């Protein structure tokens, strides 16, 4: 990255041009594949794939289960640009750097993003393996000034003070609920509020109780910064999370959330997640 810190328009442009020079695809739909959605890219036809390491100025992920590749292709005939693997704040990257892929998508020509993520369920009605369509978020790191938009604003991306009141597009959420009905999986799909924490440690019981009191239904370590940056540059957002573990809300238990469990649950639900995304992409491209 040319600038010492913060987004640099030309650096993002270089990343986008690297890809545009090497792919024939011109997608308007971007997909961030969280746990359980990585194998979506195996179903793309006319696939063209690029390692994060080879793309100028691109952040490289280090977490097990997050293979870092940008994959272009056709998802049931719809051109898409997928991020397989993402980098997180807890890896040591500044928040803005974790969201570089969103701005690269924008400069490639993407106008709509689908974001998926693994979360812990706070809402007692949620079960492991359920899906939560995200209707809103609580940007916990943002409360303390750790927002991806901190720093000099570049108007070529968006305004200094972007609104976030319709961050999770209402029409797309409605479409998603229709899709879920068509698929016959409405029993295991909810709509709720995602709270982002910095991680990497999971929460204490007292913290989880606090988050529930604040109105959060699920907790995770990603997504929110990406959504903030996507909305800043005018993209439509559809986001959902897979409930991979239940949050432990009382003190007298020996259960512990484990990353291996997260990956196992994601594996079991991957067909539903992939179908949800494919059906949403088909609808989004028409509008």
Would you call 51 a catalytic residue per the annotation? no
Say if residue 66 carries a ligand binding annotation.
yes
Check 35, 116, 139, 147 and give the catalytic one: 35
Task: Quote the least distance from Cβ 194 to ligand 6GU, whole Å.
Answer: 10
Say if residue 222 carries a ligand binding annotation.
yes
Task: Quote the least distance from Cβ 119 to ligand 6GU, whole Å.
Answer: 5
Would you call 241 a catalytic residue per the annotation? no
Would you call 256 a catalytic residue per the annotation? no
Say if residue 272 carries a ligand binding annotation.
no
Would you call 118 a catalytic residue per the annotation? yes
Residues that bind ligand 6GU (CB under 6 A): 118-120, 197, 199, 202-203, 219-221, 244-245, 247, 257, 262
Say if residue 88 carries a ligand binding annotation.
yes
Would you call 176 a catalytic residue per the annotation? no
Closer by beta carbon to ligand 6GU, 132 or else 262? 262
User: Is residue 2 packed enough to be buried (19+ CB in 10 Å), middle (13-18) or exposed (0-12)?
Assistant: exposed
Closer by beta carbon to ligand 6GU, 164 or else 263? 263
Say if residue 35 carries a ligand binding annotation.
yes
Check 1, 222, 230, 239 and give the catalytic one: 222
Q: Which two tokens stand for residue 17?
A: 């041009």
Closer by beta carbon to ligand 6GU, 15 or else 244? 244
Closer by beta carbon to ligand 6GU, 105 or else 266? 266
Would you call 15 a catalytic residue per the annotation? no
Would you call 39 a catalytic residue per the annotation? no
Binding residues for phosphate: 35, 66, 86-88, 118, 222
What amino acid positions are annotated as catalytic residues?
A: 35, 66, 88, 90-91, 118, 221-222, 245, 259
Binding residues for a purine D-ribonucleoside: 203, 245
């Amino acid at each position: 990255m040319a600038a010492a810190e913060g987004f640099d328009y030309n650096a993002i442009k270089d990343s986008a041009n690297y890809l545009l020079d090497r792919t024939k695809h011109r997608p308007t739909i971007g997909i961030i594949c969280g746990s359980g959605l990585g194998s979506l890219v195996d179903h793309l036809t006319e696939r063209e794939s690029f390692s994060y390491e080879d793309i100028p100025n691109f952040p490289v992920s280090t977490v097990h289960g997050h293979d870092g590749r940008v994959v272009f292709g056709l998802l049931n005939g719809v051109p898409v640009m997928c991020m397989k693997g993402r980098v997180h704040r807890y890896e040591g990257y500044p928040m803005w750097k974790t969201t570089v892929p969103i701005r690269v998508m924008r400069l490639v020509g993407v106008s709509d993003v689908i974001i998926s993520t693994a979360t812990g369920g706070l809402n007692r009605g949620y079960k492991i393996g359920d899906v939560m369509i995200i209707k809103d978020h609580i940007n916990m790191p943002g409360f303390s000034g750790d927002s991806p938009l901190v720093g000099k604003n570049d108007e070529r991306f968006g305004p200094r003070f972007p609104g976030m009141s319709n961050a999770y597009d209402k029409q797309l959420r409605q479409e998603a609920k229709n899709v879920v009905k068509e698929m016959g999986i409405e029993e295991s799909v909810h709509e709720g509020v995602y709270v982002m924490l910095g991680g990497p440690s999971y929460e204490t019981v007292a913290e989880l109780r606090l988050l529930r009191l604040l109105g959060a239904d699920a907790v995770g370590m990603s997504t929110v910064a990406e959504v903030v940056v996507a909305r800043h540059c005018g993209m439509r957002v559809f986001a959902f999370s897979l409930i991979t573990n239940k949050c432990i809300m009382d003190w007298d238990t020996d259960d512990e959330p484990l990353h291996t469990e997260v990956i196992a649950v994601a594996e079991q639900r991957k067909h539903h997640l992939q179908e949800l995304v494919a059906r949403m992409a088909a609808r989004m491209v028409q509008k």
